[in-house]
Chains A and B, each alone.
Chain A
């Protein structure tokens, strides 16, 4: 096991959020939660530790799923396994539970946090497309002028590039929130890789919409692994919004996918293959919804 050269001078595992935020106030803390991304990235040298290692696993109120009200709130330290097992989410947002079900392996799901998965900002992050179609936002908290301040950022504005988000070094992602989906809301998620488990998705597609009288409304479509960030597929959405869900609409949506997906060639797949697969997935999720 390689020992990376590091200069961590302080380790903190606070129980209170204000203590955690104060420890980040100078932007010189590395946040530790599940460690499933932090460990391999620092071992390989892809990422450097800052002077302070801040373990947020013991911060009270940062975990758990609150699903009683009109707004659903998932704390940042909630593990992917907890999302997978959540009976409340299975009812309210089954698309999220489905994404958790096919996330990595059980050992990783038991450690990996939702907040960490989003902050890692992988173009292939599996929780991002379902949350994008749920219209989710993230809460970012920081300590300033002797008090905690929180801002909300829609998830579609959160990602900037691979591994990059709008979150400042002083800010902690504390929760993911989304409005309780309206009656008639349907959502689907597809991802692909050479094997079912522990796979970095070659392409993923999520669809969320309200279905009424055979038409889709409030359509959101999200894609992963086809651009530097997970993204909303605006052209596909426009091709679907308010239209009758028939073969012509599906064909138009599939054609529009090429406008949204700008994939690259890499070790996992060629751009050509990804462009093809994203069309297949758009067609599949729409056919699936039509079958309902």
Chain B
């Protein structure tokens, strides 16, 4: 039996969105299957790996655990929202420059979480980055280069306060 559908409205990467979602649908499924935003990845589906990390009202969450109905009236930012008219976001560029990307599947989540950490703490230390990224797993085990990339952004202080201007 399908569960009841509810109309929700929210801001997705700065643009207003409205759609009907089943009460039990998770935000990740809504983003990927209903809105075509496939940058956010489905991996473990139970909040262990962080591949599905998005920002909601300025805080990072696992979108696989978040009920889509709870997006109603809120501001959602996904990896697609980081790109600026000039190109990649400084955090994305740093990941490229430092070779932090291996298979790439964990990258949208890693970058969303890293950007949020840097925006909230421009002087983020390596240890703080390690703690802040505890909820993001990379099965290629490329953590060192991820941390190098985050360090580089922290050193140049190029990460703005909000994901979306």
Chain A interface residues toward B at CB < 8 A: 1, 4-11, 13, 32, 34-36, 39-40, 42-43, 49, 53, 55, 57, 81, 104-108, 110-111, 196-198
Contact of B24 (CB < 8 Å), options: A4, A9, A57: A4
Assess the B65–A40 pair: CB atoms within 8 A.
yes
Assess the A39–B65 pair: CB atoms within 8 A.
yes
Assess the A13–B60 pair: CB atoms within 8 A.
no
**Taking CB as reference atom, which chain B residue is nearest A4?**
B24
Assess the B1–A6 pair: CB atoms within 8 A.
yes
A11 CA to B5 CA, complexed, in Å: 8
Binding stretch for chain A, among B40-48, B80-88, B139-147, B151-159: B40-48
Specify which chain A residues have a CB less than 8 angstroms from the CB of B69 in the assembled complex: 11, 13, 53, 55
Assess the A107–B47 pair: CB atoms within 8 A.
yes
Specify which chain B residues have a CB less than 8 angstroms from the CB of A43 in the assembled complex: 45-46
What's the least CB distance linking A117 to chain B, in Å?
14
Does any Cβ of A come within 8 Å of B126's Cβ? no
Assess the A35–B46 pair: CB atoms within 8 A.
no
What are 5 A-to-B residue pairs whose CB atoms are below 8 Å?
A11-B4, A13-B70, A35-B67, A110-B60, A198-B47
Assess the B62–A5 pair: CB atoms within 8 A.
no
Specify which chain B residues have a CB less than 8 angstroms from the CB of A49 in the assembled complex: 3, 24
What's the least CB distance linking B78 to chain A, in Å?
14
Assess the A107–B60 pair: CB atoms within 8 A.
yes
**Taking CB as reference atom, which chain B residue is nearest A105?**
B135
A235 CA to B62 CA, complexed, in Å: 41
- Listed residue (A4, A5, A35, A36) with the most chain B CB atoms within 10 angstroms of its CB: A35
Question: Per-residue 0/1 for B54-67: is the Cβ within 8 Å of any A Cβ (1 yes, 0 no)?
Answer: 00000111101111
Does any Cβ of A come within 8 Å of B134's Cβ? yes
What's the least CB distance linking A216 to chain B, in Å?
32
Assess the A6–B3 pair: CB atoms within 8 A.
yes
Specify which chain A residues have a CB less than 8 angstroms from the CB of B113 in the assembled complex: 106-107
Chain B interface bracket (under 10, 10 to 19, 20 to 34, 35 or more): 20 to 34
Specify which chain A residues have a CB less than 8 angstroms from the CB of B131 in the assembled complex: 197
Specify which chain B residues have a CB less than 8 angstroms from the CB of A198 in the assembled complex: 47-48, 134-135
Contact of B42 (CB < 8 Å), options: A1, A4, A107: A1
Count the A-B residue pairs with Cβ separation under 8 angstroms: how many? 103
Specify which chain A residues have a CB less than 8 angstroms from the CB of B72 in the assembled complex: 13
Assess the A39–B64 pair: CB atoms within 8 A.
yes
Question: Per-residue 0/1 for B24-55: is the Cβ within 8 Å of any A Cβ (1 yes, 0 no)?
Answer: 10101100000000000010011110100100
What's the least CB distance linking B150 to chain A, in Å?
14
Assess the B67–A32 pair: CB atoms within 8 A.
yes
Does any Cβ of A come within 8 Å of B132's Cβ? yes
What's the least CB distance linking B147 to chain A, in Å?
15
A81 CA to B61 CA, complexed, in Å: 11
Specify which chain A residues have a CB less than 8 angstroms from the CB of B48 in the assembled complex: 198
Specify which chain B residues have a CB less than 8 angstroms from the CB of A197 in the assembled complex: 131, 134-135
Q: Using A6-B1, A35-B65 as known contacts, say yes or no to A11 and B6 having CB atoms under 8 A apart.
A: yes
**Taking CB as reference atom, which chain A residue is nearest B132?**
A106
Which 6 A-B pairs have CB atoms at the shortest separation, nearest pair first?
Answer: A105-B135, A197-B134, A8-B3, A11-B23, A40-B46, A110-B59
Assess the B4–A1 pair: CB atoms within 8 A.
no
**Taking CB as reference atom, which chain A residue is nearest B112?**
A107
A194 CA to B116 CA, complexed, in Å: 27
Assess the A8–B53 pair: CB atoms within 8 A.
no
**Taking CB as reference atom, which chain A residue is nearest B25?**
A3
A197 CA to B135 CA, complexed, in Å: 7
Assess the B135–A5 pair: CB atoms within 8 A.
no
Specify which chain B residues have a CB less than 8 angstroms from the CB of A107 in the assembled complex: 47, 50, 53, 60-62, 113, 135
Specify which chain A residues have a CB less than 8 angstroms from the CB of B23 in the assembled complex: 8, 11, 53
What's the least CB distance linking B155 to chain A, in Å?
22
A8 CA to B132 CA, complexed, in Å: 36
A55 CA to B70 CA, complexed, in Å: 8
A55 CA to B62 CA, complexed, in Å: 18
A157 CA to B64 CA, complexed, in Å: 33
A197 CA to B47 CA, complexed, in Å: 12
What's the least CB distance linking B124 to chain A, in Å?
13
Specify which chain B residues have a CB less than 8 angstroms from the CB of A108 in the assembled complex: 47, 62, 65, 135
